[in-house]
């Protein structure tokens, strides 16, 4: 792909900058080394973090596209930059939890690492000012943050992303404890996975030793932060193309698959229309 020029900066967040290009439907995302935690009360930098998060996202998003998840990702442009479709970010953070950890473990008073069955999918309002408060679907709809239909799609896509990532990280010797996703709406009105998937947004534990290889090393001052980020990248790159132990997901059996393999995640919801992902 021809490298588009970055024009004016449209937005600067905690870990990324977004630049316009000559194409109004495409923007360049630049990943920084800046790290924040606990709602930006803790700040620092992690050398090389931007490169790792750019590389990990640029590796995983095309794989997720192949798995059937639409994303905003178009191309990695450089060590720190990627080209993505311009989207309006839906202000609903989707948290997927395979094990209890972090705020979930403290909120419910359970041990970190406790397996969660079914997988827990939570919505939070994307608001730094309010500390990303948890929000149920009715609240999101009543406050105008997303439509009911959008929330169903977010839920289904998050479950699909989890199916893929659990297997993808497992083959890299990593246990995917929990993660956060953000979605956006393109100019054409398509709801796509946006933002990033990286050690900043996932909890990843070594499958053998349980060692934390993610942002908790920064949050909890465990040391070895840079090494952990690089190790995640290294393991993912070393396992590109490896056979994954995925739940059934072939097109011929699509309908069947959709209904069956998400059933355990949807068990608590009623009156749901079949989702044609």
Binding site for ligand UDP (CB under 6 A): 95, 101-104, 132, 178-180, 201-203, 215
Which lies closer to ligand UDP via its Cβ, residue 76 or residue 215?
215
Name the residue with tokens 């827990």.
120
Which lies closer to ligand UDP via its Cβ, residue 4 or residue 179?
179
- Longest Cα–Cα distance of the chain, Å, equals 52
In sequence order, which residues have a C-beta less than 8 Å from that of residue 213 and are 6 or more positions away? 174, 199, 204, 205, 206, 228, 229, 231, 232
Which residue number places its CB atom closest to ligand UDP?
A: 102
State the nearest-atom distance from the C-beta of 84 to ligand UDP, in Å: 18
Which lies closer to ligand UDP via its Cβ, residue 20 or residue 169?
169
Dihedral sign computed on CA atoms, order 55, 61, 63, 66: negative
CA distance 70 to 81: 20
State the nearest-atom distance from the C-beta of 2 to ligand UDP, in Å: 32
Which lies closer to ligand UDP via its Cβ, residue 93 or residue 257?
93
Tell me the CA distances in angstroms from 189 to 110, 145, 172, 242, one per residue in order: 40, 16, 35, 34
State the nearest-atom distance from the C-beta of 83 to ligand UDP, in Å: 22
Residue 146 buriedness (CB in 10 A; 0-12 / 13-18 / 19+) = buried
Which lies closer to ligand UDP via its Cβ, residue 171 or residue 197?
197
State the nearest-atom distance from the C-beta of 126 to ligand UDP, in Å: 8
State the nearest-atom distance from the C-beta of 270 to ligand UDP, in Å: 26
């Amino acid at each position: 792909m021809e490298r588009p020029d970055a024009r004016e900066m449209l937005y600067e967040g905690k870990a990324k900058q977004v630049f316009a290009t000559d194409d109004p439907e495409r923007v360049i995302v630049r990943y920084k080394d800046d790290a924040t935690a606990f709602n930006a009360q803790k700040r620092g930098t992690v050398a090389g973090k931007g490169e790792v998060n750019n590389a990990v996202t640029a590796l995983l998003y095309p794989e997720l596209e192949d798995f059937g998840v639409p994303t905003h990702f178009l191309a990695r442009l450089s060590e720190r930059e990627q080209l993505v479709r311009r989207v309006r970010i839906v202000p609903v953070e989707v948290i997927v939890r395979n094990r209890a950890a972090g705020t979930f473990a403290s909120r419910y008073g359970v041990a970190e690492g406790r397996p969660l069955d079914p997988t827990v999918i939570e919505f939070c309002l994307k608001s730094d000012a309010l500390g990303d408060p948890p929000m149920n679907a009715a609240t999101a709809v009543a406050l105008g943050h997303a439509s009911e239909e959008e929330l169903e799609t977010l839920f289904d896509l998050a479950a699909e992303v989890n199916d893929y990532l659990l297997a993808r990280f497992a083959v890299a010797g990593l246990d995917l404890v929990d993660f956060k996703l953000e979605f956006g709406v393109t100019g054409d009105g398509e709801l796509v996975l946006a933002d990033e998937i990286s050690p900043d947004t996932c909890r990843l534990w070594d499958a053998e030793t349980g060692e934390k290889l993610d942002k908790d090393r920064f949050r909890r001052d465990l040391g070895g932060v840079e090494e952990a980020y690089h190790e995640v990248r290294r393991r993912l790159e070393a396992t590109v193309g490896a056979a994954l132990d995925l739940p059934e997901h072939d097109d011929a059996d699509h309908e069947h698959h959709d209904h069956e393999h998400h059933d355990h995640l949807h068990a608590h919801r009623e009156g749901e229309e079949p989702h044609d992902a």
